[in-house]
């Protein structure tokens, strides 16, 4: 996921100076685009506070979930919200008793959106150098999905089944189900927002057709157009349709999921979204896979190639699709160890996680990822 913006608020002088220095450091490290050094393909291992391994079929305790400007990235380590400048890890200032959480996205201005999980879970925004997070009013976090765009709009959902948009720490819009949705339909997830303000998510229906007694249950993609237009239901894939991210042109990526069979199939919805999803295929070595993110403007989609957890012929592997041709593999950090990809940037970086030779999971960034990607034999 990609996006975000900058919020102006009064701070104590020391906190303001600290934040300014932190952001200045990031800008200096990044430098002007024209002066940036040539990209060197490699797997960059980031600092971590966890010591566990890869969890097949479960969310990972180590993961780079968002890629900011310069050397800034965000995610989780040891199951807690963290960000990195280069390879250096920084903890988000939360109470030590805070349950697990993550930083889920970051925009070009350095505004991060994160979540605290658990019964008292909530969403928050944060900037490098701030003394504390800013809790988003009315948020009641229930899943690992939220996003922020470069204008500073944050999107997610609450436990009542309603999608929400926040700006400058205030709720500014409710995201409702499409007008023709079946009775009892609710918003299942809100997963992305692009620079224009198009918002992406899923609705879940669970009802009985009165005329036939047929029971219908499942998810389908929903797009809320920028400018406050009504929700549009997009073509479902035939099973549960999990849309994960959208780019500046409106291309949408995600996957088809056939329930507990773990039959994940990467899927793409293309503007003007009047037709069905397309399926680029899976990595040649794996029967299933997902797309978790798409770069803002370069049409690079990334995710994870999978087997059923009970039939692990090969470990999971991070994958990349350049928009045409076959789905490609990203190199593993160590032979026969698992990896996964969850974020993509226009400068060629892909963020995710990979296990080292000892089986310990590490947050990683593939630089010049498309140059490293290959078609496995």
Strands 361-367 and 42-45, sheet pairing: antiparallel
- Checking 319-324 for CB contacts under 8 A at 24+ apart, the result is 319/283, 319/289, 320/350, 320/369, 320/370, 320/373, 321/266, 321/280, 321/291, 322/370, 322/373, 323/299
Give the pLDDT score at 299.
97
In the chain, pLDDT over 90 holds for what percent of residues?
A: 71
pLDDT at 221 over 70: yes
pLDDT at 262 over 90: no
Express each pLDDT in 3-32 by its tens digit: 433 322 222 333 333 333 333 333 333 344
In the chain, pLDDT over 70 holds for what percent of residues?
A: 89
pTM score: 0.88
C-beta of residue 89 within 8 angstroms of C-beta of residue 82: yes
| Residue 104 confidence class, pLDDT cut points 50, 70, 90 | very high
What average pLDDT does the chain have? 88
| Residue 216 confidence class, pLDDT cut points 50, 70, 90 | confident
| Residue 211 confidence class, pLDDT cut points 50, 70, 90 | confident
Average confidence (pLDDT) over 126-133: 95
Q: Cα–Cα–Cα angle for 223, 228, 233, nearest 5°?
A: 25
Local structure of 291: helix, strand or coil: coil
| Residue 143 confidence class, pLDDT cut points 50, 70, 90 | low
| Residue 239 confidence class, pLDDT cut points 50, 70, 90 | confident
Average confidence (pLDDT) over 304-330: 95
Asked which of 30-44, 162-176, 194-208 is least confident by mean pLDDT, the reply is 30-44
C-beta of residue 107 within 8 angstroms of C-beta of residue 68: yes
Average confidence (pLDDT) over 223-233: 93
Express each pLDDT in 323-356 by its tens digit: 999 999 999 999 999 999 999 999 999 999 999 9
Average confidence (pLDDT) over 364-377: 96
| Residue 113 confidence class, pLDDT cut points 50, 70, 90 | very high
C-beta of residue 264 within 8 angstroms of C-beta of residue 215: no
Express each pLDDT in 62-75 by its tens digit: 999 999 999 999 99
Give the pLDDT score at 278.
95
DSSP secondary structure of 165-206: EEETTEEEEEEPPPTTPPTT-EEEEEEEE-TT--EEEEEEEE
Give the pLDDT score at 15.
32
| Residue 261 confidence class, pLDDT cut points 50, 70, 90 | low
355 versus 39: which is more confidently predicted? 355
Express each pLDDT in 276-302 by its tens digit: 999 999 999 999 999 999 999 999 999
């Amino acid at each position: 996921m990609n996006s975000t913006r900058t919020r102006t608020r009064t701070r104590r002088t020391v906190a303001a100076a600290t934040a300014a220095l932190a952001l200045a450091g990031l800008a200096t490290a990044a430098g002007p685009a024209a002066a940036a050094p040539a990209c060197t393909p490699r797997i960059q291992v980031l600092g971590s506070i966890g010591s566990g391994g890869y969890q097949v079929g479960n969310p990972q305790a180590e993961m780079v979930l968002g890629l900011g400007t310069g050397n800034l990235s965000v995610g989780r380590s040891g199951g807690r919200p963290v960000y990195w400048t280069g390879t250096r890890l920084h903890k988000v200032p939360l109470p030590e008793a805070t349950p697990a959480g993550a930083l889920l996205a970051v925009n070009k201005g350095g505004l991060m959106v994160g979540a605290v999980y658990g019964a008292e879970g909530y969403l928050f925004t944060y900037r490098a150098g701030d003394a504390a997070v800013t809790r988003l009013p009315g948020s009641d976090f229930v899943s690992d999905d939220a996003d922020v765009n470069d204008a500073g709009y944050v999107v997610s959902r609450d436990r009542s089944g309603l999608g929400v948009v926040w700006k400058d720490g205030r709720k500014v819009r409710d995201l409702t189900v499409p007008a023709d949705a079946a009775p009892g339909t609710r918003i299942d997830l809100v997963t992305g927002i692009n620079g224009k303000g198009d918002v992406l998510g899923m609705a879940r229906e669970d009802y009985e057709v009165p005329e036939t007694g047929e029971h219908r249950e499942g998810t389908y993609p929903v797009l809320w157009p920028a400018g406050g237009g009504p929700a549009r239901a997009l073509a479902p894939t035939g099973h549960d349709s999990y849309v994960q991210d959208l780019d500046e042109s409106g291309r949408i990526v995600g996957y088809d999921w056939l329930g507990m069979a773990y039959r994940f199939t990467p899927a793409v919805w293309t503007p003007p979204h009047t037709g069905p999803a397309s399926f680029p295929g899976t990595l040649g070595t794996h029967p299933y896979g997902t797309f978790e993110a798409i770069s803002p403007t370069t049409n690079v989609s990334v995710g994870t190639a999978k087997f059923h957890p009970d039939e692990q012929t090969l470990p999971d592997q991070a994958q990349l699709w350049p928009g045409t041709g076959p789905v490609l593999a990203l190199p593993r950090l160590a032979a026969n160890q698992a990896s996964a990809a969850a974020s993509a940037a226009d400068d060629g970086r892909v963020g995710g996680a990979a296990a080292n030779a000892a089986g310990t999971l590490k947050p990683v960034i593939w630089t010049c990822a498309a140059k490293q990607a290959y078609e496995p034999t």
